Amino acid sequence: MSYNIILLDSDAKHANLIKEHLKGYSEYSIHVFTDAASCIAQLKHLKPAVIFLDAELKHDPAAMEAEKELLFHLKELSPNAEIVLYSGEEKIELMLDKVKQGAHGFALKTTHTHAKAEMLLLSAIRHYKQRKESRFYKALTIVLIIALLIGFVFSIIVYKYNLISNGAASLDV
């Protein structure tokens, strides 16, 4: 199975460095965007499993109906995607706030960002797969419960029908 990975970073050189490092994983199709508008235009088509988002990247509020933070907008447009943030600023408050808002992880832009991105990607894909399996088993459970209820109702109808036919047969004798 192939997973679409989006790298949304205003620094194309940095995004391509991460892309080159992750190319070794053949099951990932990696797409680099340097502006939010072009990324947002492709979200429905790509259906990404993971979005790497530059925390300092801003979107164009004129392109959206209401001004929202980019993280929230991406979560709305692609609710199943895991979002991993990275930033050049080392602000603990920013990191914690973004994780609370739904980001899967956070990394600092350094010379070793590609290695951190790899670890976060593997973690995000594992989480993505677990959520997908969870939804499958939830749907399967609902289908089984409905089948059991139908079987139960059918059994009651058959039982009552047999009682009525047996009672009618005994009256004829």
Tell me the per-residue pLDDT of 114-144, one tens digit each, with 9 for 90 and over.
Answer: 666 666 777 777 777 787 888 888 999 999 9
What is the residue whose two structure tokens read 């959206």?
Answer: 64
CB atoms within 10 A of CB 118: 15
What pLDDT score was predicted for residue 130? Answer: 80
Q: Integer distance in angstroms from the first to the last C-alpha of the chain?
A: 68
Domain boundaries, the chain: 3-134
Q: Count Cβ atoms below 10 Å from residue 32 Cβ, excluding itself.
A: 17
Class for the domain spanning 3-134: alpha beta
Nearest Cα to 107, choosing from 1, 21, 4?
Answer: 21
pLDDT given for residue 87 in this prediction: 72
Express as a percent the part of the chain with pLDDT over 70.
Answer: 67
Q: 70 by DSSP, 3-state: which?
A: helix
pLDDT at 94: 65
DSSP conformation class of 28: E
Phi first, then psi, for residue 148 (nearest 5°) are: -65, -40
Lowest mean pLDDT among 28-37, 71-80, 158-167: 158-167
Q: What's residue 59's pLDDT?
A: 58
Backbone angles phi, psi at 121, to 5 degrees: -65, -50
Q: What is the pLDDT of residue 148?
A: 94
pLDDT at 168: 52
pTM: 0.61
